[in-house]
Amino acid sequence: MKSWEMITVAGLVASALTFSTVQVGADTYSPGIDRREDRQQNRIYQGVDSGQITPKEFRRLENEQARIRAAEARMKADGRYTRWERYRTQQMLDRSSRHIYWAKHNQRGGAPWGYRTGRR
């Protein structure tokens, strides 16, 4: 009887650990935000490659993207990514998207030669 009880307890502990691991992963899951960050990064590279974004604008936009990623990592650090935190991240991405648009359409333009990202 003792071996049966040990097997039952071990099974319950294993399933509790499995469910707690799944729960932590589910709370920080953000595929829509990750896709949006990737698209914004590609827009920046495309603007540099086409000569629409200057080196200074590129550095500024890259720093902004890094700040957003760092803020998102801090928000997820506790194992939860709440609705308010997702909303705040979306606000930061909205603002960044406007900055990318302005940089690409401000008629300053970067030199399309000698300053390429190497991405196409």
The ranges assigned to domains in the chain are 31-104
Rounded Cα distance, 83 and 15, in Å: 28
Identify which of 23, 25, 62 has the alpha carbon closest to the alpha carbon of residue 45.
62
Q: How confident is the model at residue 67 (pLDDT cuts 50, 70, 90)?
A: very high
* Averaged pLDDT, 66-94: 96
Integer Rg of the chain from CA: 22
Exposure on the CB side of residue 105, measured as CA atoms within 13 A: 6
Q: What pLDDT score was predicted for residue 108? A: 77
State how far Cα 14 lies from the chain centre: 32
Average pLDDT score over the chain: 83
Rounded Cα distance, 65 and 44, in Å: 10
Q: How confident is the model at residue 107 (pLDDT cuts 50, 70, 90)?
A: confident
* Averaged pLDDT, 58-80: 97
Q: What pLDDT score was predicted for residue 30? A: 86
Share of the chain above pLDDT 70, in %: 68
Rounded Cα distance, 101 and 99, in Å: 5
* Averaged pLDDT, 97-119: 74
Summarize pLDDT for 13-55 with one digit per residue, the tens. 666 666 655 555 557 788 899 999 999 999 999 999 999 999 9
Structure tokens at 14: 């294993």
Exposure on the CB side of residue 44, measured as CA atoms within 13 A: 24
**Least confident span in 23-32, 62-71, 84-93, 96-105:** 23-32
- In 3-state terms the chain splits into helix, strand, coil percentages (rounded to 5) of 75, 0, 25
